[in-house]
Amino acid sequence: MLNRRRFLESTIALSVLGARGAIAASSPPLRLGTLPVVSTRTAFEIYSPLMNHLERVLRRKVELETPPNFRTLYQRIREKGFDVLVSPPHIARLAQTKFGWQPLAMCHPEHLSVLMVMDGGGPKTLEEIRGKTIAVLDKSALVVMIMMQALSKKGLVMERDFSLMETRNYESSQIAVRQGIAQAMVARSQGIIDVNERERMRVLFEAGALPGYVIIAAPSLDNSDVQLLRRELRAFSGTADAQALLKKLGYEEFIPVTEQAMTRLDPYLNATEANLK
Query: In this structure, which amino acid lies at residue 13?
Result: A
The CATH classification number of 4-109+211-276 equals: 3.40.190.10
Q: How far apart are CA 203 and CA 148, in angstroms?
A: 16
On the 0-12 / 13-18 / 19+ scale of CB atoms within 10 A, 75 is middle
* pLDDT value of residue 200: 87
Domain boundaries, the chain: 4-109+211-276, 112-210
Long-range contacts: 218-221, Cβ < 8 Å, 24+?
218/80, 218/82, 218/83, 218/84, 218/85, 218/101, 219/80, 219/99, 219/100, 219/101, 219/102, 220/80, 220/83, 221/83, 221/84, 221/102
Q: How far apart are CA 188 and CA 166, in angstroms?
A: 16
Q: How far apart are CA 160 and CA 56, in angstroms?
A: 52
Please state the pTM of the whole predicted model.
0.85
**What is the DSSP-derived secondary structure letter of residue 80?**
T
Containing H/E element for 204?
Answer: strand 201-210
* pLDDT value of residue 13: 41
Q: Tell me how crowded residue 61 is: count the other CB atoms within 10 A of its CB.
A: 19
**What is the DSSP-derived secondary structure letter of residue 257?**
P
Q: How far apart are CA 35 and CA 107, in angstroms?
A: 14
Q: Give the residues across from 117 on adjacent strands.
A: 202
* pLDDT value of residue 8: 32
CATH class of 112-210: alpha beta
Give CA torsion, residues 29, 33, 39, 45, to 10 deg: -60
Q: Phi first, then psi: what are they for 19, rounded to 5°?
A: -80, 115
* pLDDT value of residue 26: 62
- pLDDT tens over the chain, length 277 residues: 334 334 333 443 444 334 344 454 568 999 999 999 888 899 999 999 999 999 999 999 999 999 999 999 999 999 999 999 999 999 999 999 999 999 999 999 999 999 999 998 889 999 999 999 999 999 999 999 999 999 999 999 999 999 999 998 888 999 999 999 999 999 999 887 777 777 789 999 999 898 999 999 999 999 999 999 999 999 999 999 999 999 999 999 999 999 999 999 999 999 999 989 8
Q: How far apart are CA 237 and CA 254, in angstroms?
A: 6
57 in Cβ contact with 221 (< 8 Å): no
Q: How far apart are CA 137 and CA 104, in angstroms?
A: 25
* pLDDT value of residue 205: 97
